[in-house]
Amino acid sequence: MTHKGRIVSAVALSTLALGLTACNDGEDAASTQDSPPASAPASSDPGSKSPSADPSDDAAAPAGGDVAAPGTKFKIGDRAVLPFKYGTDKKGTVAVTVTAIEKGAEADMASFGDKAKGMTPYYIRMKVENVGGTDLSYSSLRLRGKLEGGGPTGVILIGDLPGKCDSETAPRDFTTKGASYETCSLSATKTDPIAVASFEEGDAYSDSPVVWTS
């Protein structure tokens, strides 16, 4: 399933004449709905609103290697085994392989309107595998883009760009060991290039994310 119904952009750029709200990661943000434009309520970082992974959860033992400790650094193409929790009743262990961080074109951001002018999108493509064998059907996992060195982009996006970066949910049969699917997380920047993909789900990883770099 692809999330295509609602795309919200939160832009943390003081040069834009936007109403600013506070995010819990220190980035200011302004939210707008793609169509029709509308102000969204002040909120914390969207990544923190996603159901989070918690290494203390009593999830199934990983079947594909040791769980990556918070702060572990990987290269693009490496497979990281991670604890994962979705909602209140789904938890387990997944393996995430970031296959690419692709630079898009500014024109790809047209659906975000004038607030996206000057922004370059980046597409974080990944494979997600169920290694714990628990029922994680219809769950979703998102990675955040970071600048080289791990700095914030100043832009927070929720949603996808159909045909360019489709944010997929896990299929119905994502319930057994070895089940997998591919998805994409959308990020954007108006400054330096995005060179890092960051897993920040759960308290431990929020403070010290697992990252992939080229």
pTM over 0.95: no
pLDDT for residue 52: 41
Give me the mean pLDDT over the 164-187 stretch: 96
Interval 50-103: pLDDT, tens: 444 444 443 444 445 699 999 999 999 999 999 999 988 899 999 999 999 999
pLDDT at 34 over 50: no
Q: DSSP letters along the chain, please? A: -B--S--EEEE--TTS----EE-TTS-EE-EEESSS--BPPP-S-HHHHS----TTS-PPPPSSSPBPPTT-EEETT-EEEEEEEETTTEEEEEEEEEEEEEE--GGGGGGGGGGGTT-EEEEEEEEEEE-S-S--TT-----EEEETTS---SEEEES-BTTTB--BPPPTTTTSTT-EEEEEEEEEESSSPEEEEEE--SHHHHHS-EEEE-
Higher pLDDT, 28 or 188: 188
pLDDT at 29 over 60: no
Query: In this prediction, what percent of the chain has a pLDDT beyond 90?
Result: 56
Least confident of 13-27, 68-82, 83-97, 151-165: 13-27
Place of tokens 């506070």: 22
Give me the mean pLDDT over the 179-198 stretch: 95
pLDDT for residue 112: 86
Higher pLDDT, 28 or 131: 131
The per-residue pLDDT of the chain, averaged, comes to 77
Interval 103-138: pLDDT, tens: 999 999 988 888 888 999 999 999 999 999 999 999
